[in-house]
Structures are given as C-alpha cells and as structure tokens.
Chains A and B, each alone.
Chain A
Amino acid sequence: MDLDDTPEQAAHRANVRAWLEAHKGEAPVIGNPTHPDPTQPDAITDEAEIIAARRAWQGKLAEAGLAGVTWPKEYGGQGLGPIEQVICNQEIANAGVPGILDAIGVGMLGPTIIAHGSEEQKGRYLGPMLHGDEVWCQLFSEPAAGSDLAAVQTRARQDEDGSWRLSGQKVWTTNAQFSSYGLLLARTDPEQHKHKGLTMFVLPMDAPGVTVRGLRQISGEAEFNEVFLDDVKLDEDAVVGGVGNGWGTALTTLMFERVTIGLGGEGLGFNSTRFAKGIASDAHGRRDPEVRRQLGEIASELLAVRFTGYRTLTALQKGQIPGPEAGLAKVTIVNGAIKAGDLIADVLGPDALAEGSEWAYMISFLPGLKSAGGTEEILRNTIGERVLGLPPEPRLDKGIPFSELRSKEGAAA
C-alpha cells in the first residue's frame, strides 16, 4: 500500500514538471471579470479574451502531451493510462496555471467519438477538439429529461435524401456560447421503447436554427446555457454510433463522466484545507466546540473522498472501470460543501455573503450542483440497485413506445 509513483510514473511526472517549469510564463493569468484583483494587473478580465487565451493555452498543453493523455496516439493523444493523465493534472495544478478549457470535450465527448464514431468523424473532429481549435459541448439534458435522460424529446426526422431535421430544446449546456460543435442526443423513433429510439448526432453550433441563450443562476452569473433547435438541418453523416444506438453511445459518455467525477475527488476546490482556513480566520469561532464539531465532521468526509479517489485510481490502474458507487463521492462533496458554506457564513456573519466573496459564490453555486450529473435522489436509486442489489422501483415506462408514455403518465396521476 503506497501513494508513490512507479519509476515510469516518476519519470513521466519529471518530464511534465520540466515542461511546465519552462513554459508556465506563457500561461494566461485569468482574472475575475466582475471583481478584478488589484494585485494582478496583468490578469485578463474580458470574457472573450479569456476564452481565446485559454484555447491557445490548451493547444500548447496538447502539443506538449499534457492533454488527452489517454487518447490513442493516432488521434493526437499519448496512448497512456488514466494515472498519467492524473499526474499531468496534478502538476498543472501545482504549477498554478490553468488546465485545458474544453475538459468536457477532451474528457468525455472525444472518448465517446473514439469509441463510437466513424473513421471520417475521428479524423475530422478529434484533432481540433484536443488542441482547443474547436470547443465542444454536451447536448444531452432537456427541461423534461435530466436524471431520466432517456426521456429526451428533441426530435430528429430523416428526409428522403438521408439528411435530418432537428427541433427541440437542450439545457444546462456548459460552454455552448463559444462551442463549435455539440454532441446531441435526439429521438429518431418515438414508436420504439424509450431507450431504443434514440440517436446521437454531431451538431455544428453555427448551423441555421441553433440559438444559444445564457441561463443565469443564483449567483447572477450564467455558467450554463439553453440551446434551442428550430428545424436544424444535418447531413446523414452527422450520426455517431448508428441510428437507434443513441442510448448506448450516451452511456459511454456517462461512464467517462463518472471516471471524471471519481478522479476529480476534491476538485472544484471543495476541500477540507480550504474550509478549515475559512474557520481559522476567525479567532473566536475556531475555539467554539460546536463549530469545531461541525468542521471536524465535514472535513473528515471530504478527506475520505480524497482517498476514495486514490482507490478509484488504483482500480483504474488495474484495468477495472469504476462503477456507480463513484457517484457517492459526489454526494459527499456537494453535501459537505453545502454544510461548510453554512458553517463558515454562520461564523463570519453577513460579510461572508458580500457580492464577490468566495463564500457567497460557493453558497450560490451549490444548490444547483446537487442536481448536476443526475440528482442526488436518482444517484441513490442507481447505487441502491446496482451496488447493493436492491429491487428497482416499479416503472411505468418499460415495454411501451415512447409516444404512448405521456398518456400513460397522465392516467397514473
């Protein structure tokens, strides 16, 4: 039992560190557009300039082999394992430079295209995606299809010439406002069972009929978008993984999402050290037994997630794929961070809620995060059934065509 690098991993880490040491001066310094930091006069605060700078930096990271590490070499990757990617991420974080802009594309959508795409699609899309020349977004969730993703209603109809017409609405789409392409799940045959009539498409975001609208959240910022599709025309070769196979293709993406979450550990900055600093800054609160009890409970669980991440890495290193239980780490992180935000604001008082305060931002961000990537309730169902082997809840949506579902739902209510 150890947390050490193997000699090969240590050599890889040394190479990565040397490259970062030599090139970190080229990395962009990103500022907060609404609350500029006077100690960082060089920081970029213009939204469009930030995106441009981060895309260029992603290109350099990809060129140096620090991004897409697990991708096959023929598509610009390094053909290495997840540990090597984690080593790169750790070193990037230690160097204090930004990571890649398009983590969703490179971490989840690219691997899906590698697994299910045609040779033409791989040749056309993967290189520009990896280098940040073309950013991608994930067009899965809809207003009425989130945790129950297979309920998507965005409709794709095929014309006689083989081309497709898409209409519908997607939501919670990160990066859509500057993406070149989206990977989109649509319903191609409503007469099939819910999971069977789905197909995955590549959508050029500049296609006529595509409208992207920012979706502001509690913080006031728009980190997500709504994407509207109004009779958008796609060529026949926009299909990824075959017509009617959309659900299987989507599951691949979700599997990579789980890996990302499982390895993310305390990513997003929700970690025990940061929260302890928040409490330690108050000389009175840090000695209060009740504050310490709550901090101790929250911090213990977040520390556990760090080591759950190492357990996940060990499993990946042995060629095992993390199961749905990796989702439990997300439940721990989000609920732990919510409790920490409450505790810190209780200790620091209304000042913690000042606009621009890191704690106000975090407190605003977390209620939505509870539902991101599947609501906590659905995660617990999945884990209860797949990990503990508990029987599923009776369902109304099995074995009937999707088109009949709505009337059945109405009858049951």
Chain B
Amino acid sequence: MNLALSDEQVFLREAARGALSRIKTLEAARAALDGEQSALPDLWPLACEAGWPGLLIDEAHGGAGLDAFDAMLVLGECGRVLAPVALLGHLPATAILGDSPAGAELLEALASGQRRAAYLPAMPPNDLVDGWCVDPAHGSARPSAPSASADGERDARVSGTFAFVPDAPGADVLVGVALLDGEPVGVAIEASASGVEIESVRRYDATRALGHVTLSDARATLLDTPVQALAGAWHLAQSLIAAESLGSVETALEMSVAYAKERHTFGRAIGSYQAVKHALTEVLRQQENGRSLLYYAGWSRIGAPAEFPLAASAARSVAGRALDNAARTMISVHGGIGATWEHDAPLFFRRAQLSRRLLGGTGAATDRVAGELIAQAA
C-alpha cells in the first residue's frame, strides 16, 4: 500500500509551482477579461523547458514516460494560479497517439513542444447511450461524433464539428475520435489542412482558450489506437480538468482561510464564528475527497484499467463541485469586496463556472459514475 507522492513527484510539483510563481498569471487573467487578450502570457515555452508536453510520451520518442498522476500534479499547479498552459488539450492527444504505431512519427515534435496538439473530445458510450457524442455549440442535445470515410489504407476524410475544444486555437495537430462505418477510430488531422476551420471562442474565463473546430472533408491520418484507449483519452481529460480544478480549490481555500483569520467583526476574527468555520471546513472536506479520487484515477489508469472510467468520472464530479463551492465560499467569506473586480475571487468564480460546463460538463461525469455502478450491480 503506497498512496503518497514519491520524491520525484514532490520535485515535479515543486518545480512546477516555482516556475509558475514567476509569472503574474492572476493579473494577466484580469487584464485579459478587460479586453487585453495580449496580456495573457505565452506559457508554452515555459512548459517546453519543464518538459511538460512530453510528460505522457515514452522516452523512446523524446518524452518523459511518466503517468497520468504526474500530469495531474502539473495541471494542479496550473489550476492554483489559473495559468493558461495548453496541456488540457495537448496531453490527451499525445496519449491517443502514443497508443498507435501509426501516430508514432508525430510524437517527437509533440514531446519537445516544437509542435502542439489539441484533443478533439468525444464522449464514449455509457449504460444508456450507445454512441459516441460530442459537446454541442448550443444547448443540451449532444450530436454524434463526426463521421469519417476511408481514403486509402492509412487516411480518411472527416466531416463534422467539435465545439468548445480546449486549446484548439493555435494547435498544430488535432487528435480525436471519428466514426468510420459507425465504429470509433482514432484520427490525427493537421490543423493547416484544407477543410479545417478553428474558430477561437472565449467564454466568461479569459484564461481558457477554446475553439469550435469544423471539419469539411478534412484529410486525417487513421490511427490504430485501441477503442479502450480512445475512451481512455476522454477519461484522462476528465482527470486532468479535475486536477486543475482542485488546484484552484487549494488557492481559494488558502486565501479564504487567511482572510478569515485577519478580518475582525464584533471584536473577533470572523474565522472564529462557526458559520464561517464550517463553510471553510466543507471546502476542505470536498478538497480532500477530490484529492483521494485523483489518487484513484491516477492509480487505476494503469493499475486497474476497468475502473478508470469510474475513477476519473468520480474525480471530475467531486472536484467540479468542490470548485463551485470553493469559489462561492471565497466570495462570501470576503464579503462585498469578494464580489468586485478588485479581488481575485471572481477570477476563480469564472474559472469554476466555465470548467463545470466543458468536456461534457460535471453533470455528465456524475451520470457516468451512476451508470458504471448500476451496470456493475446488474
């Protein structure tokens, strides 16, 4: 039994915290909301220097050969300071390519970060829905994943839309799932190919780069990634956004606790009141539950792959709700100032609001937890 960070993992986390601490990411997030999009720092060179793009790529292809849990540690640090590092899109894409000999030639440039990938998210079937589906650009009905038609042995043409794709703007290669004769296949598409259109979209949280990707008969390389690994990329993305959310929870809780100790009303620190203390303890409870589930997700991806969908979905569900509550509690504990532009709390609140609705949303992850357990019970 060993459910603790190794020395290497502690070092990875501390190095990430150190590197990101040198950049004023929160100030940049506020300036970007004010319309200065250029205020957002380009953190990709920092990520490359730290070796993050190759975290999940094996050493033979220039990567670090590390595991999902290590990637989750880095995402957690990004979440702590709302740093816009394009790993949520890049890392699941590299995981799909790494499981396919046909994708191997792309890996080296992606491991070094010389090129950047974005994952085209498609939700795998569950106990109620048979097909693969994608997030809609509007509303709640989820369209089917785009379809592909074979174009020779190794290529295909893909048509369809993926909405709100994390880190799509500026990506060099798009990697995801399309349906070939109704069956899921992995595809890799050059972003510069004809028939590929990426519309940059920002919603509510300026630090989050999103894109609507429209494919019109776009040429794609067919990957031989096993279906389980295609689904695994979705669950990996769930784990990563969970880890990132929990990093934000940590900061929100730390700032709230610090303020509750120093702010006095009626002659005593507000943190001494049960109403405030219990609200902060609730954030801690959710944070610790989320952390335990990150361990579950990180361990199960290799240690118990059949449980990875359950573990990753549970982590996403708990971490997403934890961030919702942490951001709202942060605002309440700070009182009126917490709801103003002058404070950092709204930045975390905006992060919570948008994250909750990306990559299927926290709700779809919660439903999958129920579905996995009901299917097991049947």
Contacts and interface: CB of A to CB of B under 8 A. Distances in A.
Interface of A: 1-5, 9, 83, 272-273, 276-277, 279-280, 286-287, 289, 291-293, 295-297, 299-301, 303-308, 310-311, 313-315, 317-318, 325, 328, 331-332, 377, 380-381, 383-385, 387-394
B38 interface: no
A287 B69 CA distance: 33
Contacts of A310: 1, 3, 292, 295
A390 B69 contact: no
A139 to B, nearest CB: 29
B228 to A, nearest CB: 21
B105 to A, nearest CB: 32
B293 A304 contact: yes
Given A303-B310, A388-B257, A276 B280 contact: no
B370 A303 contact: no
Interface string B244-277: 0000000001000100110000001101111011
Contact of B314 (A1, A4, A300, A313): A300
Nearest to B314: A300
B272 A393 contact: yes
Q: What interface size band does chain B fall in?
A: 35 or more
Nearest to B368: A296
Contacts of A291: 370
A388 B317 contact: no
Contacts of B285: 328, 331-332
B79 to A, nearest CB: 18
Contacts of A384: 271, 277-278, 280-281
Nearest to A390: B271
Contacts of B371: 292
B284 interface: yes
B249 to A, nearest CB: 13
B370 A296 contact: yes
Contact of A299 (B253, B321, B363, B373): B373
B330 to A, nearest CB: 14
Given A296-B317, A391-B261, A383 B373 contact: no
B274 A388 contact: no
A287 B375 CA distance: 11
Given A310-B1, A314-B2, A3 B370 contact: no
A347 to B, nearest CB: 12
A256 to B, nearest CB: 20
A331 B289 CA distance: 11
Q: Is the interface of B mostly helix, strand, loop or mixed?
A: helix
B271 A292 contact: no
Given A305-B289, A393-B272, 20 more contacts: A1-B299, A83-B1, A273-B377, A277-B377, A286-B374, A291-B370, A296-B367, A296-B368, A297-B317, A300-B313, A304-B288, A304-B289, A311-B295, A328-B284, A383-B281, A388-B280, A391-B269, A393-B273, A393-B277, A394-B272
A303 B372 CA distance: 13
A308 B272 CA distance: 27
B243 to A, nearest CB: 14
Interface string B121-152: 00000001000000000000000000000000
Contacts of A4: 1-2
Given A3-B303, A276-B373, A303-B296, A389 B257 contact: yes
Nearest to A318: B4
Interface in B325-378: 363, 365-371, 373-374, 376-378
B103 interface: no
A3 B314 contact: no
A100 B374 CA distance: 33
A2 B374 contact: no
A247 to B, nearest CB: 23
Contacts of A313: 1, 3
13 contacts: A299-B369, A300-B318, A305-B289, A307-B296, A310-B295, A315-B4, A328-B284, A332-B285, A380-B274, A384-B280, A388-B253, A388-B280, A390-B280
A308 to B, nearest CB: 4
Contact of B289 (A83, A295, A332): A332
Residue with the greatest number of chain B CB neighbours at <10 A, chosen from A280, A292, A313, A393: A292
Nearest to B276: A390
Interface string B29-73: 000000000000000000000000000000000000000010000
Contact of A3 (B290, B299, B374): B299
A311 B299 CA distance: 13
A388 B368 CA distance: 33
A311 B261 contact: no
B298 interface: yes
A88 B272 CA distance: 43
Contacts of A2: 1-2, 299, 303
B293 A392 contact: no
B68 to A, nearest CB: 11
B366 A380 contact: no
A286 B371 CA distance: 8
B278 A380 contact: yes
Contact of B281 (A304, A380, A391): A380
A311 B365 CA distance: 24
B274 A381 contact: yes
Contacts of A273: 373, 376-377
Contact of B370 (A276, A307, A318): A276
Given A308-B288, A332-B289, A276 B374 contact: yes
Nearest to B300: A3
Contacts of B318: 300-301, 304
A321 B274 CA distance: 26
B261 A293 contact: no
Contacts of A318: 4
A280 B257 contact: no
Contacts of B365: 296
Contacts of A388: 253, 257, 271, 277, 280-281, 284
B162 to A, nearest CB: 24
A250 B296 CA distance: 35
Given A313-B1, A391-B271, A307 B295 contact: yes
A390 B290 contact: no
Contacts of B257: 388-390
A204 B170 CA distance: 78
B187 to A, nearest CB: 30
Contacts of B314: 299-300, 303-304
B2 A296 contact: no
Given A296-B317, A299-B369, A387 B1 contact: no
A332 B373 CA distance: 19
